[in-house]
Amino acid sequence: MESRSSRTPLVVIGLVAALVLGLGLGATAFALLGNDPATVVRQVTVTDSEPEAVADGLSIGQIHDRAWKSVVEIAATAGSPSLGEAPTRAQGSGFVYDRNGHIVTNQHVVAGATSISVSFWNGSAFTAELVGTDPSTDLAVLRVDAPPSLLEPLPLGDSSKVAVGDGVIAMGSPFGLEGTVTSGIVSALHRQMTAPNNFTITDTIQTDAAINHGSSGGPLLDLRGRVIGVNAQIESDSGGWDGVGFAIPSNTVRLIAAQLVEKGEVTHAYLGITMVAVPGGVAVTEVRSGTPAEEAGLRAATGAETVDGQERPTGGDVIIAFDGEKIASAAALQSAVDARRSGDEVSITIIRGGKRRTIAVTLAARPS
Given a contact cutoff of 8 angstroms between Cβ atoms, the answer to whether 340 and 269 are in contact is yes
Strand-pair partners of 348: 322, 359
Q: Any residues with CB less than 8 A from the CB of 308 and at least 6 apart, and which?
A: none
Whole-number Cα distances in Å, 326 to 109, 129, 163, 330: 37, 42, 22, 12
CB 244 within 8 A of CB 79: no
Q: What is the DSSP letter of 179?
A: T
Catalytic-labelled residue, pool 187, 215, 216, 335: 216
Let me know: does 35 contact 239? Beta carbons within 8 Å.
yes
In whole angstroms, give the CA distance from residue 11 to residue 161. 28
Q: Is 250:229 a contact under the CB 8 Å cutoff?
A: yes
From the list 108, 190, 213, 268, the catalytic residue is 108
Give the integer Cα–Cα distance in Å for 138 and 201. Answer: 8
Residues 327, 317 contacting (CB under 8 angstroms): no
Q: Is 138 tagged catalytic?
A: yes
DSSP category for residue 348 = E
237-242 contacts, C-beta under 8 A, 24 or more apart:
237/11, 239/11, 239/13, 239/35, 240/212, 241/210, 241/211, 241/212
Residue 216 annotated among the catalytic residues of the structure: yes
Cβ count near 343 (within 10 Å): 11
Annotated active-site residue in 134, 138, 203, 208: 138
User: How many other CB atoms are found less than 10 A from the CB of residue 48?
Assistant: 9
Q: From residue 212, how far is each of 25, 101, 227, 243, 265 by CA, in Å? A: 15, 26, 18, 10, 28
Catalytic residues: 108, 138, 216
